[in-house]
Structure 1
């Protein structure tokens, strides 16, 4: 039996951890800018790399990844894999739709990877490998992000007997895909930026 006195506070806490945006914080500290008003307008690694450089982008990526790892580990400790995953997905929701930033956040890729590395590290690493292959071949980070992230729930469907985990992983994949809806439109129209394109 799940203890709601533990589950509800942990999920709420996880959501607000997701609200913490390294890209916004670092952008303000380094350049005194709101990263969401520059480049693509997204508070994520790719836009930070374009606007503030690769070193800052990598720092943001690692911090966003850790932001997924910590709540998932806490949930895992207090309630097992399902609670770990629920806390992780709450963090991703908080990252994509942050209340403290007027619901204008990032796309959740790095944070989702952090959650995946806690819940099913082998599957997460396979997704990361597929991401890398797609980006190298197509130069589209968004396409690699979408397919790499969707790899995780697909692997869960074929390897996991726990239907709750399957459902949660599918929701996670749908969330990240939804956050890339504008990228998907540009991919279809042939106007999506590639790696190495001039800053826009």
Structure 2
């Protein structure tokens, strides 16, 4: 393969992944259902948890599955036809598109559900490690955001243990983005002010669950 062909493939994978990942399914689904702009209610987020606040569990589930699946689909398609590296690039680009969608002035979700969907496709054992880390952390500390942060950190570590340096690099870069997008949550965690799962206290607007990210 020539250098030109390689660059073309990788740039095409990045663009295709980004465009697929930037589709705001929560916003699209609720508008098609006649519920208006989901950003005008609750946390203002376009994720499944905020969609659930409309009272439509079916739409919330559809949003969760589509948000988690779009990056995985991008990684699977480009990986199948153009190779592993192209798949990793497409998955990472789809994650980026979800967090910074061009259609919404680059204001999207926090990427955790999309991150999980990507990792499950490119290296399912690593994806299971992410989910397990999130569930255990959330169960012990009752903080969804902390579970998401630990899960993101677990991904590159698990990938290295399994000998997947390529996946470790990709998930490491995406984990950095997740930590940046959760900087407000991290500040509240350090201060002991982050809302806990099941608490009656009203949560800040940017402390959504994993489904809202």
Q: Does TM, normalized by the shorter one, top 0.5?
A: yes
In 1, Cα distance between equivalents of 2:187 and 2:34? 31
Q: Tell me what 2:82 maps to.
A: 79
Gaps of at least 5 residues in structure 2 are 204-213
Shift of 1:54: 4.9
Cα distance in 2 for residues equivalent to 1:54 and 1:133? 25
TM-score (norm 1): 0.87
Return the structure number with greater helix share.
1
1:103-131 per-residue CA deviation (whole Å, 9 max, x = no partner) reads 11011111111111111101101210121
Partner of 2:181: 179
The corresponding residue for 1:96 is 99
How far 1:70 sits from its partner (Å)?
A: 0.8
Runs of 4+ off more than 6 Å: none
Aligned to 1:41: 44
**Higher RCO structure (Cα 8 Å, ≥6 apart):** 2
Per-residue displacement from partner, 1:12-35 (whole Å, max 9, x unpaired)?
A: 011011110111112323463333
Match among 44, 60, 63 for residue 60 of structure 1: 63
Task: Give unmatched runs, 5+ long, in structure 1.
Answer: none
1:149 corresponds to which residue?
152
Asked whether the equivalents of residues 22 and 102 of structure 2 are also in contact (C-alpha less than 8 Å), the reply is yes
Asked if 2 retains the 8 angstrom alpha-carbon contact of 1:68 and 1:113, the reply is no
Change (3 A) 1:19 1:4: same
